[in-house]
Chain A
Amino acid sequence: DGGITQSPKYLFRKEGQNVTLSCEQNLNHDAMYWYRQDPGQGLRLIYYSQIVNDFQKGDIAEGYSVSREKKESFPLTVTSAQKNPTAFYLCASTDRGRTNYGYTFGSGTRLTVV
């Protein structure tokens, strides 16, 4: 079955460490997104990519980095510059060529600073 897979489900980071969250999709979608969700809060856009080897900053890109070397993959690195990284991270994708512009979301990665 086609879908979008995030790993790991839970991730613990020591202060000063960089960590990378994985997002893989086999839906042949062009665009991919990373969102941050804090408890009881909405979805805040970190980065997005509409095509391989291209990506744009969202509303809260500081302290994060991404790459888009393959259509299927859009990993997110949370750097030590992100002072409050504890949150639930969601990856999403969509196919720009369709008339339906809805997103497919992954199941999320919960990152905790220890």
Chain B
Amino acid sequence: GENVEQHPSTLSVQEGDSAVIKCTYSDSASNYFPWYKQELGKGPQLIIDIRSNVGEKKDQRIAVTLNKTAKHFSLHITETQPEDSAVYFCAASKGGSQGNLIFGKGTKLSVKP
């Protein structure tokens, strides 16, 4: 079955710097790749997603890139702010009736003011 590896497990950056979180997936049939942000004591919230027919997607300070050949995708956060501090999860899915999301183990991002 699908396996999603996420790195790093923790990431500390200075406010204003960029942060990059990387994920790799094993099933070449996966076609949907969302990223979730989880603040302390809350449920994960979808922040951006990308489908396999697109190589890059951007929404203000966050962007996701996908390399289908290498089977990896990355989250990029620019001009980080303290409120970006949270746990970020990547996930992969094949879609359809068998398309349960498979999650990475998460990255704890700390943005120091």
Question: CB within 8 Å of B: which residues of A?
Answer: 6, 33, 40-43, 45, 48, 50, 90, 92, 96, 99-108, 110
Question: CB within 8 Å of A: which residues of B?
Answer: 32, 34, 36, 41-46, 49, 89, 93, 95-97, 99-101, 103-106, 108
Q: Are A102 and B43 in contact (CB under 8 A)?
A: no
Nearest-neighbor residue (CB-CB) of A31 within chain B: B100
B26 to chain A, nearest CB (A): 16
B62 to chain A, nearest CB (A): 15
Q: Are A42 and B104 in contact (CB under 8 A)?
A: yes
B77 to chain A, nearest CB (A): 19
Q: With A96-B97, A101-B101 given, is the CB distance from A43 to B89 under 8 Å?
A: yes
Q: Are B41 and A108 in contact (CB under 8 A)?
A: yes
Residue in A41, A100, A103, A107 whose beta carbon sits within 8 Å of that of B105 in the complex? A41
Q: With A103-B101, A108-B43 given, is the CB distance from A42 to B93 under 8 Å?
A: no
Chain A residues, CB < 8 A from B41: 108, 110
Chain B residues, CB < 8 A from A104: 46
Nearest-neighbor residue (CB-CB) of B102 within chain A: A45
Q: With A42-B103, A45-B100, A101-B93 given, is the CB distance from A90 to B49 under 8 Å?
A: no
